[in-house]
Chains A and B, each alone.
Chain A
Amino acid sequence: MIQLKTMLNCIDNSGAAVVECVNVLKKKRPATVGDRIVVVVQKQRNFGPDSSNNVGIANKVRRGDIRHAVVVRAKKEMQRPDGSLVKFDDNACVLVNKSGDPIGTRMNGVVATELRGRQWSKILSLAPMHV
Chain B
Amino acid sequence: MASSSPILRQLGCFRSLLKPQPQPQPLLQSPLNRRALSTVYSTRPTPKPLPENLPEQFIKQLPLHLRPKDPKVRRPIPPPPPSPCTKCKDPVAAVEEAQLAVLDPTGERRALFDYRRSPRSVKPGDIVRVTFKNGDPFNGVCLSIRLRGLDTSFLLRNHLTRVGVEMAIKVYSPNVESVEIVQRAQKRKRRARLFYMRDPKHDMGTVENIVTNYIRQKRALSGKKRAPVKGRK
A contact set with B: CB distance below 8 Å? 73, 77, 82-90, 92, 108-110, 128-129, 131
Q: Which residues of chain A come closer than 8 Å to B164, judged between CB atoms?
A: 88-90
Q: Are A109 and B161 CB-contacts (below 8 A) given A85-B168, A131-B167? A: yes
Is there a chain A Cβ closer than 8 Å to B144's Cβ?
Answer: no
Closest CB of chain B to A116's CB: distance in Å? Answer: 11
8 Å CB contact of B166 from A86, A92, A109, A128:
A86
Asked whether A90 and B163 contact (CB < 8 A) given A84-B169, A131-B138, the answer is: yes
Prevailing SS type, chain B contact patch: strand
**How many pairs of residues, A versus B, come closer than 8 Å at their CB atoms?**
54
Which residues of B are interface residues toward A (Cβ below 8 A)?
Answer: 138, 151, 153, 160-170, 173-175, 198
Q: Which of B138, B165, B175 contacts A88 (CB 8 A)?
A: B165
Shortest Cβ distance from A110 into B: residue: B160
Query: B160 to A84, Cβ gap below 8 A?
Result: no
Report the bound CA distance from A77 to B198 in whole Å. Answer: 14
A131 partner residues in chain B, CB cutoff 8 A? 138, 160, 165, 167
Please tell me if the beta carbons of A129 and B167 are within 8 angstroms of each other in the complex.
no
Distance between Cα atoms of A87 and B134 in the complex (Å): 20
Indicate if the CB atoms of A110 and B163 lie closer than 8 Å: yes
